[in-house]
Structure 1
Amino acid sequence: MTNDNEMAFEMALIGRAAGVEALLRRLLDDRALSGEIARPDRLMAAMRHGVLNGGKRLRPFLVMESAGLFSADGEAALRIAAALECVHCYSLIHDDLPAMDDDDLRRGQPTVHKAFDEATAILAGDALLTIAFDIIADEATMLPAERRVALVLALARAAGPGGMVGGQKLDLEAEQAPPDEAGIIRLQAMKTGALIRFACEAGALIAGAPAEDRERLAEFGSAIGLAFQLADDLLDLTADASQMGKATGKDAAAGKATLVALHGAAWARSQLQGLVEQAQALLDPYGDRAVLLKEAAEFIAIRNN
C-alpha cells in the first residue's frame, strides 16, 4: 500500500462515513413519516444508540465505492449504503443479546440491551431491519423501480435465512457440534460474508451495470468477506477490549471452531495475503477507478493483527 493511496483511502473512508451518519440521523428522526402513526421516543433513542455510535462504516463505504466504479455514487447509493448499515447494526444489537453472544460493550459503549433493556433492544433491531427496506423502496431513493426491487431482493437474500441470519444460527449450533473446515467456511460466508458481498454487488445493481460486473463485484465481496472474518478471528486472539471496543478472547474461551483455531495464526496471515491478491486482481479491469476498493481489501486484512 503506498502512502498516497493509504491516505486517500483513509480520507475517503472518513468522508463516506460522515455522509452516511448524517443521513442516518435524518432517517432515524422522531417525527413520523407519511403512513406511520407515531415513533415511540424510547424505541427511537435505542435505535440511534445502536447505529450512531461510531464505527468505520466499512459496508457503506463498499456500497459507495462499488457504485463509483460506474459513476453512480450519488444520493441513491448513499441511501442504499444507509439501508445496509441499518441491517448491519440490527444484527449487532441482536448478536449482543444474552441469548446470543451476551456482550456488554459494542464500539466501546454499552450495548443496547445494557443501555436500555432486552425487550427494547429486540424491538430496536426489528425496527432497523424493517426501516432498511423502507429506505430502499422509497421513491426518495431515485432509481428506476426495477433496480430498487432488485436491491430489496438481493439484500433480503443476503440478510435472511440463507445468508446472515442462517449463519448466526449455524454459529450457535457450532458451540455444541463444531463444524469441519468446509462447515466453518460456509458459516462465515453466511454470517459475515453475505452482507459484505451484497455491499460490493450493490454498486453494479445501483448503476444497472451488466451481469458480468455484478458477478465480478460479488466475487470480490466474497473474497474480502472471508478476509474480514479471518482478520476478526486473529484479532479475537491478539487484541484487547480497548482496541476492539468489545470483549475479546471469547471464541477461544468457548472453544468455538474458527479457521484460525484450526490452522493457527501464521497460516491465517498467509491466507489473508492470498485473499487480498485475489480480490485486487478481480478489480483490474476497472483500472484507476478501483484504487480505493483495492486499498479497502488491504485495510480489511491488516487491521491491527
Structure 2
Amino acid sequence: MVQTNSVNSQASVFDLSSYLAERQPLVEAALDQAVPLTYPETLYEAMRYSLLAGGKRLRPILCLAACELAGGSVEMALPTACALEMIHTMSLIHDDLPAMDNDDYRRGRLTNHKVYGEDVAILAGDALLTYAFEYVATATQGVPAEQVLRVIAALGKAVGAAGLVGGQVVDLASEGNPDVTIETLTFIHTHKTGALLEVSVTSGAVLAGASEPDIERLARYAQGIGLAFQIVDDVLDITSTPEQLGKSVGKDLQAQKATYPSLWGIEESKRQAQQLVDEAKAELQGFGELRQPLIALADYITARTH
C-alpha cells in the first residue's frame, strides 16, 4: 500500500502537458524532415497531408519514452518513432476509404481520398507503409544491427496479417453481425489497434537493449493500454460531438458494428478501461522515475475526450 501511494505521489508531480509540449514538436519536425516534398509532387503532397495533420503522436512518444526508460536515447529511437507514425497514418488513410469506413473527415479536416482521390490515397498509404521500413533501416544510428532487424521484423508482424490487417479483416467481416462475442471483439482490437501500440513500446525498449523480462513487462503494459484505448474510442464515438472528436461520430452504430458499449454498456466499458490501465501501470513497478511518462500516458488514455 505504501508503494502505491508513493507511485501516485510521484505521478502527480510529473507534468504530462509539459512533456508532450516538448516531445510533440520534436516528432513533428522529424516527420517533416523524413518525408520531403519531391517528384512526383502529388504523391508526396498526399503523404504529407495526412502524416503532418497533427494528432496526439501517441505511438512515437511511447516509443521514445520506452527507449529512455530502458537506458537508451531519443536519437536512437526517433527513426522508429517516425516509422510508427507513418504506419499509423497509412492505416488511417486506408481506414477512411469508401471500401472500409467511408469517412469524410479525419482530425477535423477532409480525409485523404476526399482531397486527392481514392487512387492517390491508396498509393500514398502504400508509400508511407513501405517507406517506414526503409527509414528504420537507413536512418537508425548507434544501435546494433541485430536490434534494428528485430524492430523491423516486429513492425512487419504488427502491421500485417498477424496484426493490424488481420484485425481489420475480422472487423469488416463482423459488421452487421448481431452475434459478435466479446472474444471476437477483443481479437479485433488487440490486433487492429493494440498490435501497433504494443510494438511502439517494445521497439523502443529493444533499440535500447532492454532485457527480455523487461521487454515482456513493457509488452503487457502496452497490451493493457492498447485495449483501454479502443474501449475509450468506442465510448467517445457515442458520447462526443464531431467538433470534439475531429471526425464523424456514431459511425459504429450506423455500420451496425459490435462495440464494447454495445456489449457492456457505457459505464461498464469505462470501468473495464480503467482496470486495464491500472493493471498496465502495475507492470511498471521497479523501473524507477523514468517510468513516469508511461504512467501519465496510461492515465491520459482513459481521461481523453478526443
Q: d(CA) in 2 for partners of 1:297 and 1:103?
A: 28
Preserved CA contact (<8 Å) 2:69 2:291? yes
Partner of residue 148, structure 1: 148
Structure 2 unaligned spans of 5+? 1-7
Post-superposition Cα deviations, 1:53-108, rounded to whole Å, max 9, x if no partner, equal 11010011100101111231321211110010000000000000011000111100
Matches within 5 A, 1:133-172: 133-138=133-138, 140-172=140-172
Q: d(CA) in 2 for partners of 1:5 and 1:53?
A: 31
Q: d(CA) in 2 for partners of 1:144 and 1:216?
A: 22
**CA distance change for structure 1 residues 232 and 2 in 2, over 3 Å: closer, same or farther?**
farther
Post-superposition Cα deviations, 1:1-56, rounded to whole Å, max 9, x if no partner, equal 7798476212212321211110111111135xxxxxxx310000000001101101
Partner of residue 132, structure 1: 132
1:14 partnered with 2:21: yes
Counterpart AA for 2:278: E
Greater Cα offset, 136-145 or 96-105: 136-145
TM-score by structure 2 length?
0.93
SS of residue in 1 equivalent to 2:36: coil
Partner of residue 27, structure 1: 34
Counterpart AA for 1:136: V
Matches within 5 A, 1:65-144: 65-138=65-138, 140-144=140-144
Aligned-residue CA RMSD (Å): 1.6
Partner of residue 36, structure 1: none
SS of residue in 2 equivalent to 1:286: coil
Q: d(CA) in 2 for partners of 1:6 and 1:262?
A: 37
Deviation at 1:292, TM superposition (A): 1.4
Q: d(CA) in 2 for partners of 1:282 and 1:166?
A: 27
Q: d(CA) in 1 for partners of 2:13 and 2:121?
A: 37
Counterpart AA for 1:214: I
Post-superposition Cα deviations, 1:254-274, rounded to whole Å, max 9, x if no partner, equal 221112110101101111221
Counterpart AA for 1:137: A
Preserved CA contact (<8 Å) 2:140 2:148? no
**CA distance change for structure 1 residues 149 and 247 in 2, over 3 Å: closer, same or farther?**
same
Greater Cα offset, 16-25 or 122-131: 16-25
**CA distance change for structure 1 residues 284 and 152 in 2, over 3 Å: closer, same or farther?**
same
Deviation at 1:176, TM superposition (A): 4.1
Preserved CA contact (<8 Å) 2:14 2:292? no
Preserved CA contact (<8 Å) 2:107 2:245? yes
Identity in percent: 43
Partner of residue 34, structure 1: none
Preserved CA contact (<8 Å) 2:66 2:201? yes
Pairs aligned (count): 298
Q: d(CA) in 2 for partners of 1:200 and 1:6?
A: 23
